[in-house]
Amino acid sequence: MSETRQTAADATANCETAEFAIGGMTCAACSARIERQLNKLPGVEAVVNLPAERAQIRFDPAQVNVDRLIATIVKTGFTATPSSADTRGEEKQRKEAVYRAEVKRFWIALALTLPLIAQMPFMFGAAGHVDVLPRWLQFTLATPVQFWIGWRFYVGGWNALRGGSGNMDVLVALGTTMAWGYSTAVLLLGLTHHHVYFEASATVITLVLMGKILEARAKAKTSAAIESLMKLQPQTAHVERSGKLVEVPVASLIPGDVVVVRPGEAVPVDGEVLSGNSSANEAMLTGESLPAPKTVGDKVFAATVNGDGLLRCKATGVGSHTLLAGIIRLVEQAQGSKAPVQRLADQVAAIFVPVVTAIALLTFVLWWWLAGDFTVALVNAVAVLVIACPCALGLATPTAIMVGTGLGAKAGILIRNAQALELAEKINVLAVDKTGTLTQGKPVVTDVIKVGAGETANVLQLAASLEQGSTHPLAAALVAAAKTQNLNLETPQEVVSTAGKGLTGLVAGQTIRVGSPKWMTEQGMTLPDTAALTGKSIVAVATASEVIGFIGVADPLRETSRAAIARLKQMGVEVVMLTGDNQATAAAIAAESGVSRYEAEVLPGDKAAHVAALKAAGKTVGMAGDGINDAPALAAADVSFAMGAGADVAMEAADVTLMRDDLNGVADAISLSRATLAKIRQNLFWAFIYNVLGIPLAALGFLNPVVAGAAMAMSSVSVVSNSLLLRRWKPERS
Residues annotated catalytic, as ranges: 433
User: Helix, strand, or coil here: 242?
Assistant: coil
Let me know: does 76 contact 34? Beta carbons within 8 Å.
yes
Q: What is the DSSP string of 607-646?
A: HHHHHHHHHHTT--EEEEE-SGGGHHHHHHSSEEEEETTS
Contact call for residues 156 and 76 (beta carbons, < 8 A)? no
- Cα 457 to Cα 529, 530, 550, distances in angstroms: 20, 18, 11
Give the number of residues written for the chain. Answer: 734
Q: What are phi and psi of 97, to 5 degrees?
A: -65, -45
Q: Select from 212, 646, 254 the least CA-distant residue to 414.
A: 646
Radius of gyration of the chain, Cα coordinates, nearest whole angstrom = 34
Kind of pairing between the strands at 547-554 and 444-450: antiparallel
Taking the C-alpha atoms of residue 180 and residue 194, their distance in angstroms, rounded to an integer, is 14
Eight-class DSSP state of 190 = T
Residue 66: what are its φ and ψ, rounded to 5°? Answer: -60, -40
Between the alpha carbon of residue 60 and those of residues 16, 41, 57, 65, 580, the distances in Å are: 6, 10, 10, 8, 42
Cβ neighbors of 123 (< 8 A, separation 6 or more) are 129, 130, 131, 132
Calculate the alpha carbon distances from 651 to 2, 229, 275, 481, 682 in Å. Answer: 16, 20, 29, 31, 32
Residue 607: CA atoms inside 13 Å, Cβ hemisphere, count? 30
Measure the N-to-C terminal CA separation of the chain; round to a whole number of Å.
33
C-alpha span between 189 and 195 (Å, rounded): 12
Task: Compute the C-alpha angle 104/109/113, nearest 5°.
Answer: 150
Q: Find all residues with CB under 8 Å of 195, minimum gap 6, and list them.
A: 129, 186, 375
